[in-house]
Structure 1
Amino acid sequence: MAMVTYGSVTGRVVGKVEGDYKGKPNVTFQLLQQKGNRAGFAQVRILNDGRELPKEGEDVTFSGVLYGYQGGVLVLVD
């Protein structure tokens, strides 16, 4: 069962940011989150096309609806 909450995630963009909003309803990419000696991934999906896309390797913070599931977090940014 997924945990749903509102919050924010901070991390470094890993890999290429796919999509340019043209013909796509959203853009999805991964953030690498470092917490002490632990690391995890958050999948970020941006739903609104008014936002500038982050670049690979950039450190960013996103707020939105967080869906926690086994293996990571999905963040829906509106």
Structure 2
Amino acid sequence: MLLYGLSLTRSHYEAEDLVQEALYRFLLIYDQLEDTNYKARLFRVMRNYYFDKQRKEKKKPTIYSINLSN
């Protein structure tokens, strides 16, 4: 799972956070799943969480600092 996280994020620390959050979210829905392919479902949860996080980051306004002293 960590290798998949690394392939998405390109950062070791972000990949660890991604795996941890994906496992947490997977455990929240685990008992509601009807299929038995848990590995595929876990990777899908990880991918969806990563893309949701990227979309939220894009929507954040960028704050620029302007130096007014001349």
Give the TM-score taking structure 2 as reference length. Answer: 0.27
Q: Which structure has the larger Rg over C-alpha atoms?
A: 2
Structure with the bigger percentage of helix: 2
Q: Structure with the greater relative contact order (CA < 8 A, sep ≥ 6): 1 or 2?
A: 1
